[in-house]
Amino acid sequence: MRYGFVMAYGDARAAAELAAMAEEHGWDGFFVWESVWGIDAWAMLAAAAMTTERIRLGTMLTPLPRRKPWDVAGQTSTVDNLSNGRVTLAVGLGVAGEERFWLFEDDPGRKVRAELMDDSLAMLQHLWRDQPFEYAGKHYRSKKVADLMPPAPPPPVQQPRIPTWVVGAWPRPKSMRRVALQDGWLPHHAPIVQPGEEPGEWSPELLAEGVAWLREERAAHGLTMDGYDVVAEGTTTADDPKAAETVRPWAEAGATWWIDADWSSMDATEVRANAERRLKAGPPRIA
C-alpha cells in the first residue's frame, strides 16, 4: 500500500514546499488539482519536482477529453524528465453539468468525451516515443513526418509510457474495459438501479468486485495485476490515532494506493494550514 496526498488548492510555490514536506514525512505521492481555467497543474508539478527526489507526482485529475493529447504529452514528458521518472498521469472524462467547468464551450456529451478519451489515450502511446507515427482516430489524426524542426519533446524517462490511471465507472463494462488496458483504476461508483431504488454507498466490498473483474479482463488480454494500481480516496485527519483503520478495509479489498484528499475548502490559506498539519502527521500507514 502506498500513500498519496492531494493539495486541494494552491500555487506553484505552495506545491514545491508541500511536496518537499510530504516527502520528508514519508508520503509516496503528491498530487495537485487540474482546472480547465486556473493555475497550471504541470507548472505546479514542475516546481514540486525541483524540491523532491523520491515522491511520485501527478494530477488528481486531468480532464483528458478537454485537452489536446499532444499538449499533455509535452507537459508530462517535460515533468517526467525533470523529476527523473516520477510522474503519474490520472485522467477522467471531466466534470459534467457544472457551469464553472463549461465557461468556454458546450459539453458535447458523455459519448463524445469518451471517444475523445480513447483517441487521446491511443495517441499518447505514440506521442511518448521518439518516433514518427501516423494516427487516424475518430476525432484526432497525425501525419507521419520523418524530421520535425523544432524537434518533438524528448520521450519520458518511464517507458513504454508514463503510468496512467483512468477513472472507471463500476460496474459499467465499457468504462472498465478502458481502465483494464491502462496502469491503474480510479473508481467511480455508477450502479445500475431501477426507478425508486437507492444506489447505495461505495464500499470496499464493491471495490473488491471491481478488482476481481479487472483481474479476469486483464488476463483475457495476456496481462496480470502485477504493478497495476487500484486507488482508494478518502480523508483522514492529522490527530486521528485510528486513521490506519480507515484505510485497512480498502487495502484488504485490493487497493494499492490510498489518496488522502480534503476538498472541503478552496481558500488557499486554509488549505495550506490544513495540508501542513496533515502531511507532518505522516500517512495513515497500515502496520
Dihedral sign (CA 228, 245, 237, 202): positive
Question: Contact, 144 vs 158, CB < 8 A?
Answer: no
Give strand ranges (E) for the chain. Answer: 2-7, 29-32, 56-59, 62-63, 87-92, 135-136, 141-142, 164-170, 184-189, 229-234, 257-260
Question: Contact, 186 vs 166, CB < 8 A?
Answer: yes
Query: Range with the lowest mean pLDDT among 46-60, 139-153, 156-170, 221-235?
Result: 139-153
Q: Does residue 196 have a pLDDT over 90?
A: no
> What integer pLDDT is reported at residue 1 of this predicted model?
96
Mean of the pLDDT values across residues 163-189? 97
Query: Range with the lowest mean pLDDT among 143-147, 155-159, 181-185?
Result: 143-147
> What integer pLDDT is reported at residue 39 of this predicted model?
95
- Considering the chain, what percentage of its residues have pLDDT values greater than 70? 100
Q: In Å, how far from its chain's centre is CA 234?
A: 15
The string of pLDDT tens digits covering residues 268-282 is 999 999 999 999 999
The string of pLDDT tens digits covering residues 16-63 is 999 999 999 999 999 999 988 999 999 999 999 999 999 999 999 999
Q: Does residue 74 have a pLDDT over 80?
A: yes
> What integer pLDDT is reported at residue 150 of this predicted model?
81
> What integer pLDDT is reported at residue 283 of this predicted model?
98
Q: Does residue 115 have a pLDDT over 90?
A: yes
**R_g of the chain computed on alpha carbons:** 19
- Considering the chain, what percentage of its residues have pLDDT values greater than 90? 87
Q: Containing H/E element for 279? A: helix 268-280
> Residue holding cell 496480470?
224
Confidence of residue 101 (pLDDT cuts 50, 70, 90): confident
Q: Does residue 103 have a pLDDT over 80?
A: yes
Confidence of residue 132 (pLDDT cuts 50, 70, 90): confident
Confidence of residue 287 (pLDDT cuts 50, 70, 90): confident
Confidence of residue 153 (pLDDT cuts 50, 70, 90): confident
The string of pLDDT tens digits covering residues 9-29 is 999 999 999 999 999 999 999
- Mean pLDDT (the chain) is 95
Q: Containing H/E element for 248? A: helix 243-253
